[in-house]
Structure 1
Amino acid sequence: MYPIVKQIHVWLVLISITLFQFRYWYFKFRAQPVGQVVRILPHAVDTLLLITGVSLAVLALLNPLVATWLGFKLIALLVYIMAGTLAMKKSGSTQWVSYLLATLAVLYMLWTAIHKTAWPW
């Protein structure tokens, strides 16, 4: 069961990152709003991503308070959500800084998931 859930989780990660990047750059360079599917789909994908992530932690018997890399990954997830929201709603330097912070949070989450350690150094 674990390998199947993990593979679904990995695909959802790729889809989620792609949708975030698409929505940001579309929002940045187009004056017209995105369609309803493009607005709703990321939320559905991210919900499934969270469900599969929790399922993986339960299947692997991981506790984020013990597996510190997982705890830091969850903190990075909160940073990603907040920064990503600002990147989609603000303009100017706030939008750009929020986009960079959200992208860095995603890169950090990928790094911690691959290396199973909280610190990249």
Structure 2
Amino acid sequence: MEYVKFFHVLMAFLSITGFITRGIWMMQQSAYLRQKWVKILPHIIDSLLLLSAIYMAVSLAINPLEQAWLMSKIIALLIYIALGMVALRFGQSMQQRKIAWLLAIIVFLYIVLVAFTKQNLPLTL
């Protein structure tokens, strides 16, 4: 199971690194964003990230309906995806895209904190 966890963490790292990079390119209005591999690779990485998460949850018999921290991660993931879509695709202005990009990064950090602490409010005492 440790190798699956390592793989999951690696995919999470690649996912956020790619998201940050694409956000910077978005702000620079870089032509890189229009390259085919830039559009495809994040979907592959994020799919592998999700599959490894599902595999671990099923293997460890962790039910998100019984574990609040896991449900919090799932809800935060949906928020992260929505913010990412606004940031990189559907934002009406550069300011809106930048704000969505920063909020998505904050939500991603929340997901990481929840993963480490197994608490839905990881910064509370």
Per the TM superposition, whether the score is higher than 0.5 is yes
Q: Is the 8 A contact 2:32 2:38 kept in 1?
A: no
Indicate the RMSD between aligned Cα atoms, in angstroms. Answer: 1.1
Give the C-alpha shift of residue 93 in structure 1. 2.4
Write the distance in 2 (CA, Å) between the matches of 1:19 and 1:95: 16
Write the distance in 2 (CA, Å) between the matches of 1:41 and 1:118: 30
Give the C-alpha shift of residue 32 in structure 1. 2.6
- What per-residue deviation string (whole Å, max 9, x for no partner) do you get for residues 11-47 of structure 1? 0000001000011111110343521111110001000
Structure 2 residue 27 is matched with structure 1 residue 25: no
Write the distance in 2 (CA, Å) between the matches of 1:100 and 1:20: 11
Alignment of 1:87-102 (within 5 A): 87-89=87-89, 90=91, 91-102=93-104
1:116 aligned to 118, 122, 125, which one? 118
Partner of 2:46: 46
SS in structure 2 at match of 1:117? coil
SS in structure 1 at match of 2:31? coil
**Normalising by structure 1, what TM-score?**
0.94
**Normalising by structure 2, what TM-score?**
0.91
Give the aligned residue type for 2:38: V
Unpaired runs of at least 5, structure 1: none
Aligned residues: 120
Write the distance in 2 (CA, Å) between the matches of 1:110 and 1:50: 14
Give the aligned residue type for 1:25: I
Write the distance in 1 (CA, Å) between the matches of 2:31 and 2:2: 41
Q: Quote the sequence identity (%).
A: 36
